[in-house]
Each structure stands twice: as C-alpha cells, then as structure tokens.
Chains A and B, each alone.
Chain A
Amino acid sequence: MIRHTLLFLGYELRNTFRNPIWPLFGIVQPVVYLLLFGPLVAGSSGRSTADALTAFAPGMLVITALFGAIGVGYGMIYELRGGVLERIAVSPAWRPSIVLGRTLRDAVVLVAQSVAVVLIALAMGMRASLPGLVLTVLLVAVTGLFASGVGYGLALSLRDENGMAQTMQFFALPVMLLSGALLPMTLAPGWMQKVALFNPMYHPVVAGRALFAGHLGDPSVPLAFGIMLALSALTVTWSVRSLRAIAG
C-alpha cells in the first residue's frame, strides 16, 4: 500500500520536475502580486515596503496553493480523457495510492514553490522570523493537501473541463478576497469578517501572518493547522472515493 503510494509519488515527481513549466507558471501570479500589489499596500497603509511584504507574503503562499489546486484538477481531467486513470485502475495498484501519490506530489511541488516565493520576497527586502517561515511552509503544505483534494474531487466528479472552469471561476475570486490574502479582513465590515471565518483559506493566511511576524505561540496557528488537517483528510478521502466511483 505504502509501496504503491511511494511509487506513484516518485513517478509523478520525476515527470513534474523533468518539465517544470507548470510549477513555474504557478508562482507567476503570486510573484506578480508581490511585485505590484506589495508596494501598493505599503503606499496606501503608510508602512515600509519591508513591513508590508511581511504581512503580504503569507497570503501569496496560500494563493499559490489555491491556483495549484485548479491546475491539478485540469491535469486529472486530461488523464481521465486520455485513458491513463482507467489503465492504472486495471492494475493491482492499491486504489487510494493512485490519488494519494498525486496529492503528495502536489504538496512537495507546493513546498518548492513556497520556498521560491519566500526567497523572492526576501530578495525584495522582506524581514521574517526563520522558525515562522518554516512553520508557514509546513502549514501551506497541509493547505495544499486540502486544495488538491478539492481539485481532484471536483475533477473526478465533474469529469469535464467546462464544468471545472465554471466552478473554479465561481469560487476562486470570493475565496481569494475573503481569505484576506490581498487586503486584510481587518479592513472589512463586521459581517464580512464573520463570513471570512467560514472560508477555509482565511485561517492559514492569518496564521501565516502571525508566524512571519514571529508570534509562534499565536492561537491562530494551532487553529489553522487543526482546520487544515481536518479538511485535507476530508477532501482527500472524497477524491479517493470519487476515483473508486469511476474506476471500480
């Protein structure tokens, strides 16, 4: 069981890093936000760019996870159409390992992407606590498990690029805005802050800010880890079940 999961993980990682165009593409958006939106936030709040980046960068990591999920969902639909999943399904592979190997690959890719984004932010003058950075990258990895679980679950349930595009477009923007990744929710009216609490992506952003600032004991940190671990268990189970539904 573990052997099959590791086999798929290794195989998928080799494929991804042989041609790393998609992981690179995945960090374009957060980096552009860092470059253009960061200074804008700094200017409007009257803080220094370094301070603004410390508050802004954690949100970019969460956005990377969000867009990553959309990408892996499309990849799964492509594999479905090409008969790849069907072929693997008629093999002695342990069923959950087919999805688990891919989900773990996504988490590894996301960690690499996060490190790249953090390095770019540091190069731009961001200051952050090192243990805070490490813990945030870990939190983002768990967030990535949740996000790719959603991506695979949707892909395997919808099985169609158009439905996928519509669903993603419908949810991506409100989820991004209500996560506070771009503009902090403290600027929002009270009702919106309450709504944001129910947005899963809100919690890693808040916890990431606290961690970057060096508040390792902030209560938002265990809360975010708890919520993300629970949700990723849920969505990964969902995607494994969806695979069983299409491939026996």
Chain B
Amino acid sequence: MIIDAHGLRKSFTARGRRGAPQTVEAVRGVDLAVETGEIFGVLGPNGAGKTTTIRMLATLIAPDAGTATVAGFDLLKEPGRVRGRLGYVSQAGGVEDTTTPRAQITMAARIHGLADAARATAEVLDRFELSEVADRPARTLSGGQKRRVAIALGLVHNPPLIFLDEPTTGLDPQNRANLWDSVRRLREGGTSVLLSTHYLDEADALCDRLAIVDHGVIVAQGTPAELKREVSGDVVTLRVSDPGQAAETLKPYARETRVDDEVLRVYVDDGERALPAMLRDLEEHGLGLTSISLDRSTLDDVFLARTGRSLRDTGAAA
C-alpha cells in the first residue's frame, strides 16, 4: 500500500468580519487505502474536502487528528522523507510565467538532488512532448501545455507516487483526453496516482478505484464498476404528467425510484427487458409520457443514492 491513512480530520477557523469565529470542518475522518501502482480517484463536489485531504497527505497542512503512511514513511514523524518521494501537482499548477519550462524543471531536479539534472529534465520534457516549447517563457504556452509542464515539474525526480489535484479543470476535451492518456502511461510505468476530480466521466474512465466524498467524509469507496453495481444496473429516466403516480405504478419493476421535480428515475436490474412492460403499464394507467430514456447507471447515481443530491446539482459539471 502506497497510502494508508486513518481518521484524518481537519477543521479551519474562519475569522468573520463580525461575531464569533466560525469553524468549518473540512475533513471529518477520512480513511484511504491506495494500492501501489493504481490510479486512485477522490470524487466529490467543490468544497467536499478533496483538496484539504490531498494537502494533508502532501505534508502541506498538519491534520488535527489521524495517522497516515505515505510512500513508505510516516506522514507526521518524517514529513521530509515523504516529500522526497512525492510528486505534487496543485490545482494552481505552480508554473512560473516569466521563466522557461526547462529552467523551472531543472531547478526542481536540482532541489531533489538528482546527479544529472539536465538529462532528467530533457527526459521528462520529451515524455510530455514539451521539448519544442521548453525554452519559451511559460506565459506563452497554451493551457494544455502549461498543465503538462506542471505535471513534468512533479515527475522529474521519478517519484513512486504523484498527487494530481483537479488535473483537467479548465482544459478543453482534446487536452483532457491527452492528459488522461498521460496519466495512464504513468500507471504503466509503475507510478501510483492519487487524483481528485469533480468530473464524473473522468473518475469513471480513468480511476482503478475511487472514493466519493461529500462534506468531508467518504460516502462510498470501490472500483467504478462495483460502485455502480451497488446502485443498480440501469436507470430509466422518464418525464411524465404525474411522476408520483407513475412511481407507484412502476414500483414492481424497480429496485428504487426517485422523483426530482418532473423527472422520475427508476433503477432496474435489466432495463432492456423491463422497458416494454413498464411502457405498457404506464399506458394502462393513462399516464402521459413526454420522454423516456434508458441508461447504464453512472457514478452520479451512486452519489445521488448516498447523499440524496445529484453531483450535477452541486455545481459540478458532468
């Protein structure tokens, strides 16, 4: 296990303009177990405590409670050793606009005490297809290139473990897909990855295992397939004149039904088979149907089942 964390907690005291200081419990008891060589995702809406958890594991903030072993060393007793074996790429990226990628990466390599900093830099630049832009000031780079520089900065010393905090936020679909490929190649090279994201498709497509967090606690943990299986295989989404009545009618088919405004979601084990019968029943009860769709259940359905809210409604995009 490359990360083994137990009961991590962190609260912040925010000083208001007036009145008593407010305490925000950002992380309220998180256990994480990340296996060596896997891509582990932390999925949750903004403010769920993802970044705080990663910052604690990266030695940047001290947890109020809890213990953790990261990359073979005790987080609290030997933070210096942990730092040496860690790559950390924050949401902001930490790329200096005025300096060239090569200068920044070479400096990072020297700080890590690499014998041949220039060679390690050239290698990592090559690996992320940055050689051509390596000697331009970073401010002239595109968003996707800058993001790759940020990751190269965290990887130049070949750490066994890398943290990526919201690595694809703000990237266009093309760059996101490229970045996903880069992350998969990291895994092939034996690097363990801990990444946070609020994108459902990213967590689903990229992560071997993931933890879904909300309000500072883990609400579900497992492989994407396991998590989705827990909810149910398929989800039938209907727009009907009377969703409440329709939910009652369709109950025999469903493992679970959920009404949000005019939308009725019916979770069924075998959607293809259930659908014709469901349509027949609706017609017999004279319930007017505006639209109907059948989908495999997504991680959003898992989030919905565990928290009663949709991740889409919390402001995070799908």
- A residues with a Cβ closer than 8 A to B are 4, 7, 11, 14-15, 18-19, 79, 81-93, 247-248
Contact = CB atoms under 8 A, between A and B. Distances in A.
Given A86-B90, A91-B83, A248-B60, A15 B110 contact: no
Interface string B79-111: 110011010111111111111000100011011
Nearest to A245: B61
Which 5 residue pairs of A and B lie closest in terms of their CB atoms, listed nearest first? A83-B92, A87-B94, A83-B94, A90-B88, A83-B90
B96 A88 contact: no
11 contacts: A81-B92, A83-B90, A86-B92, A87-B89, A87-B90, A88-B94, A88-B111, A89-B59, A90-B58, A248-B61, A248-B79
Contact of A86 (B62, B79, B94, B99): B94
A241 B62 CA distance: 15
Contacts, number: 70
B62 A248 contact: yes
A103 B111 CA distance: 18
Interface of B: 58-62, 79-80, 83-84, 86, 88-99, 103, 107-108, 110-113, 153-154
A82 B97 contact: yes
A245 to B, nearest CB: 10
B92 A90 contact: no
Contact of A92 (B80, B89, B99, B103): B80
Contact of A87 (B59, B62, B154): B154
Contacts of A18: 99
A91 B112 contact: yes
B94 A4 contact: no
A87 B153 contact: yes
Given A11-B107, A82-B93, A83-B93, A89 B60 contact: yes
A4 B92 contact: no
Contacts of A92: 80, 83-84, 111-113
From A19, A83, A91, name the one whose CB has the most chain B CB atoms within 10 angstroms: A91
B107 A7 contact: yes
Contact of B111 (A82, A86, A93): A93
B88 A87 contact: yes
Contact of B91 (A83, A88, A247): A83
